[in-house]
Amino acid sequence: MRIGIVGCAGRMGRMLLKETLATTGAELAGGIERKGSPAVGIDLGVLADGAMVGLTAGDDPATLFTAADVVIDFSTPSATVSHAALAARTETALVIGTTGLGPADVTVLEAAAQQVPIVYAPNMSAGVTLLMALTEQVAAILGDDYDIEIVEMHHRHKVDAPSGTALGLGRAAAAGRGINLEAMSVRSRDGHTGARVPGSIGFATLRGGDVVGDHSVIFATEGERVELTHKASSRAVFAKGAVRAALWCEGQDPGLYSMRDVLGLGVSA
């Protein structure tokens, strides 16, 4: 599979380049950066801290999508929406790890997925994907008397909160309970809040240092507490999962998929 990388000079982009170059069955098709970036024109192998590969970073998405079988996009919501439409026009599969996408953005992804396979996941880690599946299962098994709280911590530079992964865990818990997350989520608590609303799903957000990503789902009731936790110590796990998803796209029918589909864990929440 010829894989293209969006944002190839960023921290995540460089890891994606390195992982693509190191993965059997993957061929680097190219990489792009924003127009005016000093990385444009630099060899992609050099950006990946390796030997030159004869491909340089560009700034034209259309050229990248035309050259690639699948493109991996960890960028911004506005850019990702544009790339989804481009993927549909060029019949290029797309793997999306962008966070902060809203309902209107997902609608665009769904429309594009009628033409090409798109894998969209707030977290590409195999471990987090398993955590989401377990969260849904535990939420379905434990009774409504178990309160659900989701705690996440990321580095000081992260701009969205709660994290996309935390929201994905919330959706998984809500699916297990058969409830609507938007109607039952509590995003913040301050001052005299009153007692906890039965059946609600709470979120707590922590920011600091260089934390790559810590997520915990807590099920608490009288007398006991069950906690499911995942901690990422390197962004390399996200790159590995994204390249795995890109290779999985080969031969897939058009549709909007998740990492749970990639790992064969069944339909996601």
Catalytic residues: 154, 158
Annotation-wise, does 33 bind a ligand? yes
Annotation-wise, does 38 bind a ligand? no
Annotation-wise, does 34 bind a ligand? yes
Annotation-wise, does 249 bind a ligand? no
Annotation-wise, does 9 bind a ligand? yes
Annotation-wise, does 198 bind a ligand? no
> Maximum CA pair distance of the chain?
62
Annotation-wise, does 260 bind a ligand? no
Annotation-wise, does 164 bind a ligand? yes
- Residue among 160, 64, 74, 158 nearest 120 (CA): 74
Half-sphere exposure of 134 (CA within 13 A, CB side): 15
Annotation-wise, does 123 bind a ligand? yes
Prior bond of 162 cis (ω within 30°): yes
Q: Report whether 58 contacts 31 (CB < 8 A).
A: yes
C-alpha of 23 from chain center? 20
Annotation-wise, does 97 bind a ligand? yes
- Number of CB atoms found within 10 A of residue 147's CB: 17
Classify 244 in phi/psi space as left (phi over 0), alpha (psi -120 to 50) or beta.
alpha
Q: Report whether 58 contacts 40 (CB < 8 A).
A: yes
Annotation-wise, does 58 bind a ligand? no
Helix axes 164-177, 126-141, angle to 10 degrees: 30
Annotation-wise, does 223 bind a ligand? no
Annotation-wise, does 155 bind a ligand? yes
- Number of CB atoms found within 10 A of residue 81's CB: 21
Half-sphere exposure of 205 (CA within 13 A, CB side): 17
Binding residues, by number, are: 7-12, 33-34, 97-99, 121-124, 155, 164-165
Known binding residues for NADP(+): 34
Binding-site residue numbers for NAD(+) are 7-12, 33, 97-99, 121-124
Binding residues for (S)-2,3,4,5-tetrahydrodipicolinate: 155, 164-165
